[in-house]
Structure formats: structure tokens, C-alpha cells
Amino acid sequence: MPNEAQVIPLHTAKRPRPATNGTNGTNGSGGSGGSERALAPVRKVRPRAGAAKKPESRGLLADAAGFLRRRLAGDYDVDEFGFDPDLTDNVLLPPLRLLYDKWFRVEVAGVENLPAEGGALVVSNHSGTLPIDSVMTAIAVHDNHPEHRYLRMLGADLVFQIPVLGELARKTGQTLACTEDAERLLSAGELVGVWPEGFKGIGKPFRDRYKLQRFGRGGFVSAALRTGVPIIPCSIVGAEEIYPKIANLGPVARLLGLPYFPVTPTFPLLGPLGAVPLPTKWRIEFGEPIRTDDYPAAAADDPMLTFNITDQVRETIQQTLYRMLARRRSVFFG
């Protein structure tokens, strides 16, 4: 018999970071210090023990010890998709945030178009040979949204087959791009990100940059229609030039079971150095939401309507891209 049947909720909308480790209660004089650390922004936390041994980073060390204790005791929450906010916030996001802030210097516009709460589907253009654009979009949403919402991304099945990558994808809140998962996330009121161009978009040759490819079969539109959530078009400029794919080694790709094997000016010529992306200047713009809740209930089963909305979303993103490109003066300085 259980002593107390405590129900652990599957979907807590926002999990506040445990800011201090109970020092306020045990040590009266440390109260002010504790609350000060509680207000410190999330990005300042460096959880890796030993990463900072300087005396001024003791608070971070205590936080790191707390994190280590939680991990070793298995004392954290994971949702049914495998999303682990504790690990995402403390270990996975900080290094990516460096890339976001310092390398690509991402500028974000239109955050007000993301809803404060409830489900929404962010649809974006895909590019860059490696799916760095999706990770950057997730950081753009999380860091700029007033509620610091997580973008739950839908990934290709290849991602979940690859060891480590598949695991990290699940831990950061991604899941398989299938109707079941998309609708489940949307009806749970999550912000879902989808890149409907798929491999056709991300693996297109450099000469086709900023030309949107076909938007899959429009499955994302039916998912939005079925759950009645708005579609938010998202346009990303800068990701196309990070790994200019000038050729594709088809036989090697087939041998490795990959959709393409890119040749860029630096890869495979410079070996691992070729994995360093070019430091382009990025702009991410979230467009006006396209409502789907005023269609009749059977709309999701109307292929013509689905195709029309798919085209509308695609055109919106393409036009926004052209507008953003016209304003851009330099690939590297914006």
C-alpha cells in the first residue's frame, strides 16, 4: 500500500528552476544572497562541475552540485515524449546559446506573434545541410518569449535512429514527425515547431538557397486544423550559407544510409574543421498567425483546403524571405 498517492502531473506548463538549495531557511544571514541568486538569469548557470574553479563562482558550484545530485538520484521529471527540461536548461542549451549569441548573432522579430499560452504550430523554412536552424529557432523562442516557452520540434525518423543524437533530440523535447505525436503535443497546448520541407529543404544545393521546396504532404496543416491551433509562419535568413553545399556524393550517402552526403568548400577537404559553420548573420522572423479554428470540423479531411492553406503558409514564408533578403547587405554582417 502506498503511504500517499501523489500524482505527478505529466504536463506542467512551466517548470520553475530550483533557484537555491534551501540556504534561505537554514542560514538566516544568507537570505539576501539567496534571493539574489534566485533572480539570476538562467543563462548564467554553468552546471558542469570543475568548469569554473575560480573563487567568485561558488554559487554556481553549489548549483552544479545540486544538478549533479538530482541527476545521480534520478530526481527529475521527464514527460511522455522524453523531454527533460532540467538537462535541457542546464547542460544542452548553454553551449548552443553561445553559438546563437556569439557566432550567428541571431536577431529575432515578431515574438509577439507567438501565443502566451496554448498550442500553436510554428512552420519554418529549412536549410543549412545540418539542422542547426531548428535548434536556433528553439533558442529564439525560449529566450525571447516572455513566458520562456519551449519549442517542441518534430524531427525526421532518421534523427531517432542515430545513437546519442536521437537521445538528445528526445531530451530537448523533440519527437518523431508523425500525425499522432503532432496532434498530441498540440492538444496538450504545446508550441510545436515543424520544418515541412524536410531533407529536400535542408539538403538543397547552394545555388537553390532561399527557394522553398515542396511542403511535404501538408500533414502539418491537417494536424493544426484538427486541433484548431494557429499556424505561425517563421522565416530564417542566414542558415542557408553556414555550410554551402556545392555537391552531393550520392554513392557515399547510400552506403551510409543518409539522404545526402554534402561537399562544401571546407568539407570533406579540411576534415573535422569542415564541420565548423560559417559565421553568418542570422535573422529569424515570426509572422502573423494563420487561424485554423474558424473552419468546420470536417476541414481536416478536405484535401483541397489543406493544400490551399499549405500554399498560403509557404507563400507567406517565401515572400518574407525575399523581403528580408532585399534588406540584407552582407551575409556575414547583416
Partner 1 sequence: MPKVVLVTGAGGNIGGGLVTRLAADPAYDRVIGVDTATPPKRVLNALGRAEFVRADIRNPLIAKVISAAEVDTVVHAATTAHPAGPSRRTVIKEMNVIGTMQLLAACQRSPTVRKLVVKSSAAVYGSSSRSPAVFTEDDAPRGLAAGGYAKDAVEVEGYVRGFARRRPDVQVSTARLANLIGPDVDTVMSRYFALPVVPTVFGYDARMQLLHLEDALALMERLVKHDLPGTVNVAGDGVLTLWQAIHRAGRIPLPLPGFSVPTAANVVGASRRVDFSPDQVKFLNFGRVLDTTRLKSEFGFTPRWTTRQAFDDYLAGSGIRSLVPVGRIAGLERVLARAVGSRSS
What residues make contact with partner 1 under the rule CB under 8 A? 1-2, 5-8, 10, 20-23, 26-27, 29-30, 32-34, 36-37, 58-59, 61-62, 65-66, 68-69, 71-76, 78-82, 84, 157, 160-167, 170-171, 175-176, 178, 180-181, 184
Give the Cα-Cα-Cα angle 44, 35, 13 (nearest 5 degrees).
70
Task: Please say which residue, 67 or 267, places its beta carbon nearer to partner 1.
Answer: 67
Looking at the Cβ atoms of 45 and 212, the one nearer to partner 1 is 45
Q: Which is nearer to partner 1, 65 or 247 (CB)?
A: 65
**Residue 20 Cα to chain centre, angstroms:** 28
Nearer to partner 1, 20 or 235 (CB): 20
Residue 163 C-beta: closest distance to partner 1, Å: 2
Helix (H) or strand (E) holding 273: none
Q: Which residue from 193, 190, 187 is spatially nearest to 227, judged by alpha carbons? A: 187
Q: Where are the beta strands (DSSP E) in 164-211?
A: 175-176, 191-194
> At its nearest, how many Å lie between partner 1 and the CB of residue 149?
19
CB of 65 to partner 1, least distance (A): 4
Burial group, residue 128, by CB count within 10 angstroms (0-12, 13-18, 19+): buried
CB of 161 or CB of 319, closer to partner 1: 161
> How many other CB atoms are found less than 10 A from the CB of residue 220?
27
Q: What is d(CA 105, CA 103) in angstroms, rounded to the nearest whole number? A: 6
Residue 92: DSSP 8-state:
I
From the CB of 30, what's the least distance to partner 1, in Å? 2
Min dist CB 243 to partner 1, Å, is: 24
C-alpha–C-alpha distance, residues 179 and 217, integer Å: 12
